[in-house]
Amino acid sequence: MASRLFHSASNNKECIRYPMDVPYFAIYYNDVYEVDLPPGHRFPMKKYRIVREALQAKVDNLREDEKGRVRCEFHVSPCATEAQLVTTHDARYVRRYLTGEMTESENRNIGFPWSLKHVNRTLSSVGGTVAAATAAWEEYSRRREYLEKVYTQEQQIQTRPRFLNEKTMHLCWAVIHQHNQKWISSQILTRNHFALTTAHVAGGTHHAFADYGEGFCIFSDIAVAANVLLERYSPLIRRILIIDLDVHQGNGNAALFDKDDRVQTFSMHCIGNYFSKKEKSDLDVELPIGCDDETYLSTLRYWLKRIDQHRFDESFDAEQNCERNFDFIFFQSGVDIHKDDRLGRLHITADGISKRNAIVFDFAHRMKCPLVICMGGGYPKDDDWSPIIDSHVGVYWEAHRYLSTILDSSHLADVH
């Protein structure tokens, strides 16, 4: 009965427009700003378009009933504004980059030649993550507001006097039926209004510092998005977690949030992949060169469990369980941990990366807060791009599949 009422509700026009009990997955992409790089350049610019097109084809090829299980939308990434950038980066650095006043040495350290086209790509790389983050929070807030409204109506119905006689009996049964239907919907919504993820098929530029960039990173999209959230939605958003699973340390984000306890940085990376000064994240986990799936996954599970238990909260009281929850999570999903990555020095298989993704999705769902996925690193070998492309696509596709399983009827077994 619960399942039938749930599915029949999806035929209602209001539910179609605002499917509160359907998982939400908005995907932003910026490959429309693709830039031609000099011959032989190491950065795989074309992978962003290839990944997005492959992902979009997978979603488009779903059966109509499967499409209805996740509200999935694709959007072109907007360009970040200068005001957004200076929430995080030095204003003079931002202005110098936008106007082409960077020195040749600075551009060489970043890894890209400067051009106006590349400025637009850079702004969209940040803007897409900002848009994904704000879309996730707005949807989360809208669902929470709706849930509160449903509960308020439920309480009103429970306290409403019922006069049962022949003239009013049918009216009372109509009210009771409507109440039961809303109660079932509210139980489903309690589970599913947390089932929302947004993503950027770009970004994860975690090597950008306040006043300089390196490692193909000019501005930190995740850091800018986090600061925009904190500025725009305070005090509703107070604590943000960054889970960085790129093969390289998220050194830029570690430095940017070094003295800001509102944003906690967790970086799990290869000890042999430092290319500049090591920074101090809130939690750094170094993996040995050649680390395999078993070691990688057991290490990730262990540290996410520790984060779940203590959440970087010095005021944690185990007896009273009074730790502060995270309000938002960013996932830097670099696949340069793959054994076939050109730059990475770990030995993780495609299956290991899929299991890594599932562990993070489970963790975010337990935290009951919005999740934003960013692309991060992945450097194909010249002779075969498929292992890296497939793993990048897999991150987003597996997120879609994860969300779709939340609507499985088995999740309604305890709703009667």
Exactly one of 193, 200, 207, 269 is catalytic; name it.
207
d(CA 14, CA 196): 19
Token code pair at residue 132: 């994904």
Establish whether 207 is a catalytic residue: yes
d(CA 150, CA 193): 13
d(CA 89, CA 163): 65
d(CA 162, CA 118): 67
Q: Is 315 exposed, middle or buried (0-12, 13-18, 19+ CB in 10 A)?
A: exposed
For residue 389, which phi and psi values (nearest 5 degrees)?
A: -60, -45
Do residues 98 and 51 lie in contact, with contact meaning Cβ atoms separated by under 8 Å?
A: no
For residue 284, which phi and psi values (nearest 5 degrees)?
A: -110, 130
Rg (CA), the chain: 23
Q: Is 303 exposed, middle or buried (0-12, 13-18, 19+ CB in 10 A)?
A: middle
d(CA 92, CA 73): 36
Angle (CA) 76 389 377, round 5°: 75
d(CA 77, CA 201): 9
d(CA 328, CA 236): 10
Residue 34, helix vs strand vs coil: coil
Helix or strand (DSSP H, E) at 153: helix 116-159
CA distances (Å), 303 to each of 30, 249, 266, 308, 311, in order?
Answer: 33, 16, 9, 8, 11
The catalytic residue positions are: 207
